[in-house]
Amino acid sequence: MNFYNVFLSIFTLFAIGITGYVTRKINLIGKEMADNIPKFITHVTMPALIISSMQLPFSWDRLGDVGGILLIAIPAYGLQFLVAGIIPWILGVRKSWDKGVYQFMMIFSNAAFMGFPVLISIFGQESIFYAALFNLPFNALVFTVGVYLMEKGKSKFKLKSLLSPALVGTVIGFMLFIFSVEIPEIALKPLSMVGDLTTPLSMIFIGSSLATVNFKNIFSNRNLYIVSLFRLVIMPVVLLFALKNHVSNELLLGIPVIITAMPVAALCAILAKTYENNVDLASEGTFMTTFFSLFTIPLVVWIFTLVV
Amino acid sequence: MKLGFYNVFISITTLFAIGAIGYHIRKKGLLSEGAAGNFPRFITDITLPCLIISSMQLTYTQDRIQEMGALMVIAVVAFLVQLIFSLLIPFILGLGEDGDKGVYQFMIMFQNAGFIGYPVLVTIFGTEAVFYGAIYNIPFRILIMTLGVSMMEKEKRVFSIKDMFTPGIVATLAGLALFFTQYKLPVLIDDPISMIGSLTTPLAMIYIGASMTEVKFGRMVANKRIYMISFIRLLAIPMVILLAINGFVENEMIRGVPVVIHAMPVATLCTIFAKEYNNNVDLASSGVFMTTLLSMVTIPLIVTALLMV
């Protein structure tokens, strides 16, 4: 893997993020459009990206890799749960209401909005096939464990909320793969063209969401620096060194490491709001980790290229 | 480059399939009204200029200069054809001294070169066609801001040179400057620009699809004159231009770019100008919608004609 190319790809994402920031600041992207982009991505472009990326010819080797990535997901999520277990002690928030929010930040990274674009730019489109599978537990966990961490009172759990469009897209894509069903070109081309919107639009959204933030407030919360350090650097690096002797396939090693190196999931703030937890803390954490990730992702990728 | 019928068919269907997605998600509310309304500005001010600049990063060759010259000659012919049709249209429709005369003339004279034109050019001919399309659009912009305004306005207004410089035109001029100096943008700048530029086609089609949800079909279908306008705008004009230049132009792209551009539906500026100059806004917007809708059938027809001659 050539580090210059990796740097170039990440810089490209960064530059598009800046474009999003500027266009939102000068109101070329209005509030309504900025608010609507996430829904558009999660419900339209992301499923399209997943399905079109999973259009790979069936082979037993690849099926073996599918097993591999699902197996790797166990230690990867395990590590994040472990850190989530100890973070209240480290931060001294064991008795605080905010405990759940901090724990949520440790378990759930922004795989889809940032992880997928970074993976595509480093490993190419094919990586989404495995990344989508690696991400399957995310959907199951975020609406069970994630909601549990966020809620203070009782709430009704709905099975339907597990069925995110990304999950449905992954299942459909995997079925097509298993049964070797090729989508005809006439349908695949629009699908992949819409799917390709995911990367630039995600970065524009992330940039534009930073435009309305009061940076002063965010950078005064000391705990969030520790959260960022664990979320963005320690966890991915520990995972990298834990896995590197057991996983020889560069792609299968890279996916869990890079997804773990992503900032706090955007859902953090959304769920905190839904379950009346500390929304400010949740969005500050999302913003701070997103901001730092612009520097730490190249760092983690650099360490990755040194090790592999 | 040889255009294959199958590839062209796939390209055009792709565009309309994305338009259909736009229509569907707007209907379902996945795309809100405010967000959809923000797309045109975002496209014309950000993504389209990026697409133009990155597509104009081409190597300077003598052939290319000759092609640009040929294109300019074709432009003169093509705009003359449209001018003749637009002068004739009051007689064809039997308008007399009707107050709407200017709106009808505008519809014939000005097509939607930027919004639908570029996506169709990119998907059929590749990004290189954007280079020629952008150059082609410079005289178009001059005409629309002078002749177009005078067709629409009922009272007089001073033409301001500032109106000329849309982000698209500025990007074209910048792209031309880079082309003639053969300055290659560093990858660090070119990569993000071309990625943002690549948003243009899908977003434009999604917007067009979404905007179709607002059509009031009843009123639009009732106006019989719109059908004649559509026929002339979408079929007669591009066919006349194609037949006029066919014997003289060998290069498939140089022949194709003007024909495709002149086969586009009525420019959305038609509605905007009609609003600005207190002209018949309803008529203007039904013209835009009707021709956009029908163009989904006529563009493939014109492209087929292009492949056959």
CA distance A27 to A34: 10
Placement of tokens 């909601």 in the chain: A147
Low-confidence ranges of chain B (pLDDT < 70): 1-3, 96-98, 154-159
Distance between start and end Cα atoms, chain B: 16
**Strand ranges inside chain A, DSSP E:** none
Any B CB within 8 A of A26 CB: no
State the pTM of this model.
Answer: 0.85
Do A190 and B17 lie within an 8 Å CB cutoff?
Answer: yes
For residue A300 the two structure tokens come to: 């983690």
CB neighbour burial string for A95-110, b if at least 16 within 10 angstroms, e if fewer: eeebbbbbbbbbbbbb
Report yes or no: A246 and A76 within 8 Å, Cβ to Cβ: no
Q: Is the interface score ipTM higher than 0.90?
A: no
Per CB-CB distance under 8 Å, the chain A contacts of B194 are none
Placement of tokens 């923000």 in the chain: B38
For the segment A52-85, what is each residue's pLDDT rounded down to a tens digit?
989 988 999 999 999 999 999 999 999 999 999 9
Report yes or no: A265 and A196 within 8 Å, Cβ to Cβ: no
Per-residue confidence (pLDDT) for residue B133, from 0 to 100? 92
Per-residue confidence (pLDDT) for residue B1, from 0 to 100? 46
Any A CB within 8 A of B272 CB: no
Helix (H, G, I), strand (E, B) or coil at B266: strand
Any B CB within 8 A of A185 CB: yes
For the segment B242-295, what is each residue's pLDDT rounded down to a tens digit?
999 988 888 888 999 999 999 999 988 888 888 878 888 888 888 888 898 888
Low-confidence ranges of chain A (pLDDT < 70): 1-2, 152-162
Per-residue confidence (pLDDT) for residue A173, from 0 to 100? 92
Per CB-CB distance under 8 Å, the chain A contacts of B38 are 29-30, 32-33
The tally of CA atoms less than 13 A away on the side-chain side of residue B298 is: 24
Placement of tokens 């200017």 in the chain: B102
Per CB-CB distance under 8 Å, the chain B contacts of A19 are 46, 192, 196
- Output the DSSP codes for A234-286: IHHHHHHHHHTTT---HHHHHHHHHHHTS-B-THHHHHHHHTTS-HHHHHHHH
Placement of tokens 């992880």 in the chain: A115
Per-residue confidence (pLDDT) for residue B97, from 0 to 100? 67
Any B CB within 8 A of A16 CB: yes
Longest dimension (CA), chain A: 57
CA distance A105 to A275: 15
Helix (H, G, I), strand (E, B) or coil at A264: strand
Report yes or no: A169 and A44 within 8 Å, Cβ to Cβ: no
Any residues with CB less than 8 A from the CB of B41 and at least 6 apart, and which? A28
The sign of the CA dihedral A245, A248, A250, A256 is negative
Do B30 and A39 lie within an 8 Å CB cutoff?
Answer: yes
Report yes or no: A277 and A152 within 8 Å, Cβ to Cβ: yes
Do A40 and B191 lie within an 8 Å CB cutoff?
Answer: no
Taking the CA of residue A80 and the nearest CA in chain B, the distance in Å comes to: 33
Do A23 and B46 lie within an 8 Å CB cutoff?
Answer: yes
For the segment B165-190, what is each residue's pLDDT rounded down to a tens digit?
888 889 999 999 999 999 999 988 99
Do A8 and B10 lie within an 8 Å CB cutoff?
Answer: no
Do B10 and A11 lie within an 8 Å CB cutoff?
Answer: no
